[in-house]
Chains A and B, each alone.
Chain A
Amino acid sequence: MHLVLFRDWIRRIYATRDDELGCEEVFDAIASYVDMEIAGEPAAECFPRVLAHLKQCPHCSDIYLALRAAALLEDQELARELVELEHPDSH
């Protein structure tokens, strides 16, 4: 194990809390969390226990990152299509 990874592991050990959310609870909340983030709202402040779980759980963290990318892409594509609808002559 690289020492840098060991120190990260130590931080995760000491960050352990009694009231951590499980994966099912985070799965239920993650869509709201992502939408808030994309809207520029303080998702981490509103859902601190979701963030804490994501820092501990590689599976949920993976889902979060992919979900964020997909939701952002949808936002951008819909914005682009909206612009095209509003300004058809420019295309």
Chain B
Amino acid sequence: MASLGQPRSSEQWVAELLDREARTKALVDLREYLLRAVYVYLNRHRDDVSHLDRRELEQLAEDFVQDALLQILDKVDTFRGESKFTTWAYRFVINVAATELRLHRWRTLSLERLVSDDIPLFTFVGDERAPDPETVAVRNQILDLMGRIIREDLTERQRFALVSIHFQGVPVPVVARELETSPNNVYKLVHDARKKLKQGLERFHYSEADVLAIFGEP
């Protein structure tokens, strides 16, 4: 891979990307930076692409970089100099890669089945010592309360988002696609669901320390 070459200041990056004559060279160089960033992401954070051969990986990385370059060109005039330009730019290619890979991985799975009421939410493993009957009783009270809040107090979209992400490990972009909304709005749905759970527990005087102790916090 080509060297990063003579480094530009953030101001130089912005000036050249906004200048019609200088833009082409700047984009060629920026492409190299973005390729490095996306390779770091793919190699260190995504074992789901480890089966790809070198040519496939290069094509995938190139596709992500091209998408990111378009987004960066569209937004370059919003760069405020609060970070290095390259760090600011890397976000775009990493976000494109993270989102596209997750959407692809989950494309065939039925989310409705994952969040169906038939699937119990609170089935635990990892309890090394069988709890005493009193602890079991209190645990069940807390779990019943949380189950009731999830089933009855959350809206359908809040419940879907919370259960998908928190219980089934569905990535946020996948839930956003299913709900035909943005990842930002999915976060807000989950946030509101968490608030209702927290308020419900506190209404019944269960503190964080209480709940953690009952569920085996050492």
A interface list, Cβ under 8 A from B? 1-4, 6-7, 9-14, 16, 18, 20, 22-24, 27, 30-32, 34-35, 53, 56-59, 62-63, 65-67, 69-71, 73-74, 77-78, 81
Nearest to B41 among chain A residues (CB) is: A66
Structural contact, B184 and A14, CB atoms closer than 8 A: no
Structural contact, A10 and B211, CB atoms closer than 8 A: yes
Contact residues in A for B198 (Cβ distance below 8 Å): 13-14, 16
A58 and B40 CA atoms in complex are apart in Å by 18
B146-185 Cβ-contact flags toward A at 8 Å (1 or 0): 0000000000000000000111000111000000000110
Nearest to A34 among chain B residues (CB) is: B87
Question: B57 contacts the other chain (Cβ, under 8 Å)?
Answer: no
Most buried by A among B172, B190, B194: B194
Known: A1-B125, A3-B125, A59-B171. A9 touches B208 (CB 8 A): no
Contact residues in A for B94 (Cβ distance below 8 Å): 63, 66-67, 70
Contact residues in B for A2 (Cβ distance below 8 Å): 124-126
A24 and B167 CA atoms in complex are apart in Å by 24
A34 and B198 CA atoms in complex are apart in Å by 31
A65 and B90 CA atoms in complex are apart in Å by 12
Please provide the 10 A-B residue pairs with the shortest distance between their CB atoms, ordered closest to farther: A31-B83, A70-B37, A14-B208, A59-B172, A16-B194, A2-B126, A66-B41, A31-B88, A31-B87, A3-B126
